[in-house]
Structures are given as structure tokens and as C-alpha cells.
């Protein structure tokens, strides 16, 4: 997790699960940018490619 210092927080997460009936495993890696205003989440952006999230947060380089 990175606090951008401008009200935005960058957060990476892994999601994994298994189908109850099929037993098939699924997973996803996502990166989120949360915009916080007055202590509340005002916006959430979801990226399936971390490079795009970093670019949107101004951290690519």
C-alpha cells in the first residue's frame, strides 16, 4: 500500500477462490487507487494491470 499524499492510496490485492460445484480454482491480481476525502472513500479505481495503475497514480517512470 502506498499513500500518495494527495488523498489517493494505491493498494494491491490478490483474490483466489474455488468453485463450489466444479472445484475449479480461479484467481486475479488487481491494483486499486482509492481517493479519500474527509476520511471517507470518495472514489475507487480498479486496474487489472499494475502498470496502468502506477501510470494513473503518476508513479511510472
Mean pLDDT of the chain: 91
Is pLDDT above 60 for 9? yes
By percentage, how much of the chain surpasses pLDDT 90?
A: 75
Residues 26/16, Cβ–Cβ less than 8 Å: yes
pLDDT surpasses 80 at 61: no
- Under the banding of pLDDT at 50, 70 and 90, the label for residue 5 is confident
Rounded to whole angstroms, the Cα distance separating 37 from 20 reads: 39
Contact 12, 50 (CB under 8 A): yes
Q: How far apart are CA 20 and CA 30, in angstroms?
A: 23
Which ranges in the chain belong to alpha helices (H)? 50-56
Amino acid at each position: 500500500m502506498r499513500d500518495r499524499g494527495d488523498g489517493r492510496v494505491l493498494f494491491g490485492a490478490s483474490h483466489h477462490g474455488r468453485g463450489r460445484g466444479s472445484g475449479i480454482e480461479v484467481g486475479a491480481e488487481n491494483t486499486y487507487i482509492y481517493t479519500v476525502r474527509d476520511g471517507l472513500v470518495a472514489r475507487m479505481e480498479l486496474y487489472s494491470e499494475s502498470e496502468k495503475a502506477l501510470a494513473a497514480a503518476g508513479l511510472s517512470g
